[in-house]
């Protein structure tokens, strides 16, 4: 397959598939999610640990539900610094009827940095029951294979790996100088590990007790159309990526509402939140956190997104990763009582 595409060819390809508006309509037509399709159980506690993110500040103080990793009495100063990168990785724990459960969700890019962070944060891989991947971009699966190979003895044999549609397909980015390959996670490499069970997700699916994956997200807003410069290979051709296989994590905290954890929100953070509300038939949102993919977005798109999230009125909003500085500052200005600045290594402690 030809990996290079000039601007004229790219525009012709975009028009041929109707760009992302048509892609969104295709997704709408495929999803027929009933209200309250998932009877998600209430968890007594949940902890979301951001293993790595784009930003780290050792001097940030604990704030509301955010427990910071940093300078503490007795800390070795050479161990107080965590790795940050253009990547994202989570460790998520639930407590349901007194029983703890945990899983990994996304894995960042740099193996040495991510694995060191996991050690400093005391992530117990022996207790991990499942693995999840939000979507097929390298900054979310880059360490996956090397991490699992290095920690094979700590992970359960037959551990399920949840991945969305087209999770193993190569992706690209249209750059001014041409098309850049973003590589792909290969199914045969995951199967070759010998102890991981691949589970492909289309619909809402439990990953561990008390935590659900959204499955493919329904598009309901008229402005969250994604980027026409992010491409995917289909049928030997490069076409705009509609991220049909991108999913998020949904928890239901007892008495407080939904906790929604996302990777990049290419399908739109408002779409994801509304999808979670519809799939659970729960309107109350306790927290929304993750990459909102608003880096470089036009001010009017940022304003509409923030206005819609503000109207949903979550108790906490935690933008990370690809949200972008401009959007983060708008969230902070418009939702000051709900906004939390994220830093790599932060643990978000949710209790009923």
Nearest CA-CA partner of 289 in 311, 313, 269? 269
Mean model confidence pLDDT for the chain: 91
Which residues, 6 or more positions from 199, have their beta carbon under 8 angstroms from its beta carbon?
Answer: 160, 161, 162, 163, 205
pLDDT digits (tens, 9 = 90+) for 32-59: 687 788 999 999 999 999 999 999 999 9
CATH number belonging to the domain at 7-245+344-351, selected among 3.60.15.10, 3.90.400.10, 3.40.50.11750, 3.40.50.300: 3.60.15.10
Predicted TM-score (pTM) above 0.75: yes
75 pLDDT above the threshold of 80: no
pLDDT digits (tens, 9 = 90+) for 145-193: 999 999 999 999 999 999 999 999 999 999 999 999 999 999 999 999 9
19 pLDDT above the threshold of 80: no
Element (H, E) at 117: helix 111-120
**Cα–chain center distance at 271:** 14
Element (H, E) at 333: helix 325-334
28 pLDDT above the threshold of 90: no
Alpha carbons 282 and 204: distance in angstroms, whole number: 15
SS3 call for 163:
strand
């Amino acid at each position: 397959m030809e990996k290079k595409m000039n601007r004229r060819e790219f525009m012709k390809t975009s028009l041929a598939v109707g760009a992302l508006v048509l892609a969104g309509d295709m997704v709408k037509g495929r999803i027929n999610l009933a209200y309250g399709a998932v009877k998600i159980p209430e968890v007594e506690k949940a902890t979301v640990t951001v293993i790595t993110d784009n930003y780290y500040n050792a001097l940030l103080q604990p704030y509301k539900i955010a427990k910071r990793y940093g300078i503490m009495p007795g800390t070795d100063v050479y161990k107080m610094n965590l790795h940050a990168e253009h990547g994202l990785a989570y460790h998520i724990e639930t407590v349901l009827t007194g029983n703890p459960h945990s899983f990994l969700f996304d894995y960042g890019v740099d193996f040495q940095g991510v694995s060191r962070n996991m050690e400093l944060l005391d992530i117990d891989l022996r207790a991990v029951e499942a693995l999840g991947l939000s979507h097929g971009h390298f900054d979310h699966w880059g360490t996956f294979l090397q991490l699992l190979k290095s920690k094979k003895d700590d992970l359960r044999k037959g551990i399920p790996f949840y991945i969305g549609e087209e999770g193993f397909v190569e992706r690209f980015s249209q750059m001014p100088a041409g098309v850049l390959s973003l590589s792909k996670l290969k199914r045969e490499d995951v199967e070759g590990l010998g102890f991981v069970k691949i589970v492909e997700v289309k619909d809402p699916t439990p990953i561990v007790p008390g935590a659900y994956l959204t499955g493919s997200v329904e598009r309901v807003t008229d402005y969250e159309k994604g980027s026409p410069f992010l491409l995917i290979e289909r049928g030997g051709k490069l076409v705009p990526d509609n991220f049909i296989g991108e999913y998020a994590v949904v928890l239901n905290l007892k008495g407080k509402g939904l906790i929604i954890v996302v990777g990049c929100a290419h399908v739109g953070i408002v779409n994801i939140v509304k999808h979670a509300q519809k799939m659970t038939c729960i309107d109350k949102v306790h927290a929304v956190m993750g990459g909102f993919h608003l880096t470089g977005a036009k001010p009017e798109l940022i304003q509409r997104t923030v206005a819609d999230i503000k109207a949903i009125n979550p108790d906490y909003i935690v933008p990370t990763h690809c949200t972008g500085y401009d959007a983060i500052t708008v969230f902070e200005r418009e939702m000051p009582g709900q906004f939390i600045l994220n830093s790599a290594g932060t643990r978000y402690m949710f209790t009923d």
